[in-house]
Every structure is written in structure tokens, then in C-alpha cells.
């Protein structure tokens, strides 16, 4: 996922309920799908952030010396400015980028 190219809002927005529940015709099912996708996005972002921060990590045995690592600070600031995972998930939902299926209907 390319986080720089996303057009999800950074601030809180109000969405039309009818747009959210249109694909499933059930608002609770739609919110459940969006929340699961938000959890996936959050896990991806967290893993990516930890990997990038470890590139710049300096390991010290001494507790007395603490250094500010400018690269780590810049990476952290970039990730703080990103839209939240739920905003990314809602944006994906509204643009039909989330695949979902109802397993109960598949079994019947």
C-alpha cells in the first residue's frame, strides 16, 4: 500500500450512511468489514514503521548516554501525519477496493 498516494482525509469527516451500507444493505455488516480492514491497515503500518525505525537504531549498553536520532524523528513525524487506519479503510470501502463475501450465503 502506498501511503503517500492516498487521498483519505486526515481530519474527521461525516459520511452519508446510505453510501456506507449500500454494498451490504446492512450498516452493521459494513462497519464490521471496514473495522477489520482498518485493523489490517494498522498492522501493516505498524510493521513498516518498526522496520524503518530499526534501520536507524543504535544499540547502547550505557543507560547514561541517550542520543537523539534525527532520522528516527523524521520517520516518526511522517507516520504521525498520515491519515488514521479507519479513514484509509473507509476510503477503500467507498471506492470499492475492499473485497468481501458473506460465508453464510456461500454455505447455503
Parent domain of 50: 16-58+65-101
Is 4 inside any structural domain?
no
Rounded CA separation 58/66 (Å)? 10
Rg (alpha carbons) of the chain, rounded to whole number: 19
Is 85 inside any structural domain?
yes
Is 6 inside any structural domain?
no
| Cβ 85 vs Cβ 3: under 8 Å | no
Is 70 inside any structural domain?
yes
Is 10 inside any structural domain?
no
What pLDDT, on a 0 to 100 scale, did the predictor assign at position 64?
56
Q: What would the pLDDT profile of 59-86 be if each residue is shown by its tens digit?
A: 765 655 556 778 888 888 999 999 999 9
pTM for this predicted structure: 0.83
Is 7 inside any structural domain?
no
Q: What would the pLDDT profile of 37-57 be if each residue is shown by its tens digit?
A: 999 999 999 999 999 988 877
Is 38 inside any structural domain?
yes
In 3D space, the residue among 2, 3, 17, 11 whose CA is nearest the CA of residue 93 turns out to be 17
In 3D space, the residue among 82, 79, 88, 80 whose CA is nearest the CA of residue 34 turns out to be 88
In 3D space, the residue among 41, 44, 29, 48 whose CA is nearest the CA of residue 87 turns out to be 41
Q: Taking the C-alpha atoms of 102, 8, 84 and 101 in order, what is their torsion angle to the nearest 10 degrees?
A: 10
Q: Name the domain count of the chain.
A: 1
Amino acid at each position: 500500500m502506498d501511503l503517500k498516494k492516498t487521498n483519505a482525509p486526515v481530519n474527521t469527516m461525516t459520511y452519508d450512511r446510505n453510501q456506507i451500507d449500500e454494498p451490504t444493505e446492512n450498516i452493521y455488516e459494513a462497519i464490521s468489514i471496514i473495522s477489520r480492514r482498518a485493523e489490517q491497515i494498522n498492522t501493516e503500518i505498524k510493521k513498516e514503521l518498526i522496520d524503518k525505525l530499526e534501520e536507524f537504531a543504535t544499540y547502547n549498553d550505557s543507560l547514561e548516554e541517550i542520543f537523539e536520532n534525527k532520522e528516527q524523528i523524521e520517520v516518526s513525524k511522517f507516520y504521525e501525519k498520515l491519515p488514521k487506519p479507519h479513514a484509509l479503510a473507509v476510503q477503500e470501502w467507498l471506492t470499492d477496493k475492499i473485497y468481501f463475501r458473506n460465508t453464510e450465503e456461500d454455505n447455503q
